[in-house]
């Protein structure tokens, strides 16, 4: 849909860059009284992508929720990206999404046509994923917001947590980085339209195929790379797994245009929050320029999967992924714990 709508001008921040920092969240959730249940095998205390409740030996219930302000001006594309981002958490856990509820906040400045297009984008992306949107909730507020609460299912043994990586596992990333930096520069109308169209297609792409492919191999851990950036989500994986993750910066895929804009200072606030959270756990070996570090801390919207796979399966998994996801790359490996949880190898 071609539109002159400037949805991004109605919001103070964009996409997953609006997420509250991981360190802040951890403090806010401390010491809450909660019920326990042995069937709840993943809860909010695990810093994982979704909660998982085992119903029986054959079925585990996966639940997640995600919503954010517009990251694009086209309302239909915004709806698609927001839905793909929310559904991604189910794929990151190794599940199949099945049901969803709309979450929508509208402002007085939004035209009815924009609202309908946002919802149409969400419904179309949910349909592509095989998801039924069965209801939702809409409110009025100061910023436009859209997303989904999603329910999925998997066999309990198919659940992939962000904890579980083992020494010598190979780390594979399925989408390039730089989304937050490029969309920040785009607000100043500095990014070519063709580059942004490429970025929009990436953000609207489901992680379905990556999930289905990884289930054929000995994958020990998985997460999707979104608002906490590659280093924030890698830190959660390292801490949960009791490993140190080595990331080879020369192997990590990112949109090369993001390098120039990072050098110019178009770095979203979320990247600084991510740096504050994760930097203390990072050791740099060799030369990693500041702009590359900014890209590694950059908050991603509807990012790819970060997969920790058994070394013996890694080449075949990567080869199979590349048949349908050419940008997938092996970016590092897990090791025995060292003095830092993350090692950046320049």
To the query of whether residue 16 is one of the catalytic residues in this protein, the response is yes
By C-alpha distance, which of 100, 328, 315, 332 is closest to 210?
A: 328
What is the C-alpha to C-alpha distance for residues 237 and 249, in angstroms, rounded to an integer? 18
The 3-state DSSP class for residue 240 equals: helix
How many other C-beta atoms lie within 10 A of the C-beta of residue 283?
Answer: 14
What residues contact 169, with CB distance under 8 A and at least 6 apart? 220, 221, 243, 308, 309, 310, 311, 314, 333, 334
* Torsion angle of C-alpha atoms 186, 189, 195, 200, degrees rounded to 10: 50
Measured at the alpha carbon of residue 322, what is the angle toward residues 183 and 83, in degrees to the nearest 5? Answer: 40
The 3-state DSSP class for residue 132 equals: strand
User: Catalytic one among 13, 16, 211, 222?
Assistant: 16
Q: Which residues are catalytic?
A: 16
């Amino acid at each position: 849909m071609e539109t002159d709508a400037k949805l991004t001008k109605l919001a103070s921040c964009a996409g997953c860059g609006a997420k509250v920092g991981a360190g802040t969240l951890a403090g806010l959730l401390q010491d809450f009284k909660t019920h326990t249940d042995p069937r709840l095998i993943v809860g909010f205390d695990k810093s994982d992508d979704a909660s998982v409740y085992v119903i029986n030996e054959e079925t585990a219930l996966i639940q997640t929720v995600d919503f954010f302000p517009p990251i694009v001006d086209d309302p239909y594309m915004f709806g698609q990206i927001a839905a793909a981002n929310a559904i991604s958490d189910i794929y990151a856990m190794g599940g199949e999404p099945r049901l969803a509820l709309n979450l929508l906040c509208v402002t007085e400045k939004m035209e009815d046509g924009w609202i309908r297009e946002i919802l149409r984008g969400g419904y179309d992306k949910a349909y592509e994923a095989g998801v039924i949107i069965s209801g939702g909730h809409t409110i009025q507020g100061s910023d436009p917001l859209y997303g989904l609460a999603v329910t999925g299912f998997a066999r309990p043994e198919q659940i992939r947590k962000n904890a579980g990586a083992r020494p010598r596992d190979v780390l594979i990333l399925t989408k390039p980085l730089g989304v937050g930096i490029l969309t920040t520069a785009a607000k100043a109308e500095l990014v070519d339209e063709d580059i942004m169209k490429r970025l929009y297609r990436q953000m609207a792409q489901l992680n379905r195929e990556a999930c289905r492919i990884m289930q054929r191999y000995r994958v020990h851990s998985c997460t999707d790379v979104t608002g906490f950036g590659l280093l924030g989500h890698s830190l959660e994986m390292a801490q949960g797994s009791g490993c140190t993750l080595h990331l080879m910066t020369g192997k990590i895929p990112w949109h090369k245009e993001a390098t120039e804009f990072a050098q110019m200072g178009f770095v979203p606030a979320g990247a600084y929050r991510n740096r504050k959270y994760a930097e203390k756990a990072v050791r740099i070996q060799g030369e990693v320029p500041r702009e590359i570090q900014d890209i590694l801390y950059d908050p991603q919207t509807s990012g790819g999967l970060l997969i920790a796979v058994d070394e013996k399966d890694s080449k075949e998994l990567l080869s199979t992924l590349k048949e349908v996801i050419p940008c997938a790359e092996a970016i590092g490996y897990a090791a025995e714990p060292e003095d830092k949880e993350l090692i950046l190898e320049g």
